[in-house]
Structure 1
Amino acid sequence: MTAMECLERLRDMQIELRKLERDIKELRAKLYSLKAIDYGKEHISGGTPKDLGDQIAHFNARLKVVQDKWKRFMQYSDVVDGMINQIESCQLRALLHERYINCGSWEQVAEVVGVTREWIRKRMHREAVKEFSKIYKNSLQELAVVGIQDVV
């Protein structure tokens, strides 16, 4: 994995976690809106009935998956943030932190760093990734401890 792939993986993880959190929110809303079974209606056979217990079990299983992914994300994010914080230039640190740790847009990054979006994308980002790459090569052992293979 290259340094750039390491940074992009962090953004991908955040996107995946936001999606999973929306799924959990929808499942929770479905649980709160469940109605009692009307036993007066005609029984229709086929399919597998999902009672409240099944739905709660499904919700808890999905919640556990999300919690595990959040834990791995936080470990990975802490290691990557530690590497970013080793960069000497304050502007380059701020650029990488805002873009990859905070998952900011290029406009947000430019606002934080105090330069134009074009300058960030055409010049500074390349320089920041180059500086991060130097640190990344020396920190592969730390990422191996976190288990970068199965983070997402």
Structure 2
Amino acid sequence: MTAMECLERIRDMQIELRKLERDIKELRAKLYSLKAIDYVKEHISGGTPKDLGDQIAHFNARLKFVQNKWARFVRYSDFVDSMINQIESCQLRALLHERYINGGSWEQVAEVVGVSRQWIDRRMHRLAIKEFEKIFKNSLQEFTAVYNECVV
């Protein structure tokens, strides 16, 4: 894995977690909108029954899965952030932190760093990645352990 892939993996994990959070919100809404079973209607056999208990169990299992993903994401992003924090330049640190840890757009990054978007595109981002690559290479063994624990 390269240093850039390491950073991009955080953004991918954030996208996946946002999707899972929406799924949880949808499941929660379905649970709140459940109606009582109408025993007057004819019983149809076959399929798997989805009574309230089944749906709550499904919700709880899904919630636990998402919470586990969040915990792994936090561990991974904290480790990557600790590598970013080793960069000497305050602006380069801020650029990488805002873009990859906070998930900011390039416009937000430019605002935080205090430079134009064009300056970030032309020069700063490349410099920040080069600095991060140095630290990444020195931390590769530790990173691999964290990556295997949190991502794989």
Which residue of structure 2 aligns with residue 83 of structure 1?
83
Structure 1, unmatched stretches of 5+, are none
Structure 2 length normalisation: TM-score?
0.95
Q: For structure 1, which segment, 114-123 or 52-61, has the greater mean C-alpha deviation from structure 2 after superposition?
A: 114-123
TM-score norm. by structure 1 comes to 0.95
Counterpart in the other structure of 1:56: 56
1:40 matched residue in structure 2:
40
Give 1:44 deviation, angstroms: 2.2
Q: Does 1:14 align with 2:17?
A: no
1:101 aligns with 2:94: no
Residue number in structure 2 paired with 1:138: 138
2:44 is matched by which residue type in structure 1? Answer: I
Residue pair 1:76, 1:148 contacting (<8 A) in 2 also: no
* CA distance in 2 between partners of 1:114 and 1:16 (Å): 30
CA–CA distance in structure 1, aligned partners of residues 122 and 45 of structure 2: 63
Q: 1:105 to 1:63 in 2, by over 3 A?
A: same
- What RMSD over aligned residues (CA atoms) do the two structures have, in Å? 1.3
Asked if 2 retains the 8 angstrom alpha-carbon contact of 1:31 and 1:56, the reply is yes
Moved more, 3-12 or 142-151: 142-151
Contact 2:83–2:136 at 8 Å: present in 1 too? yes
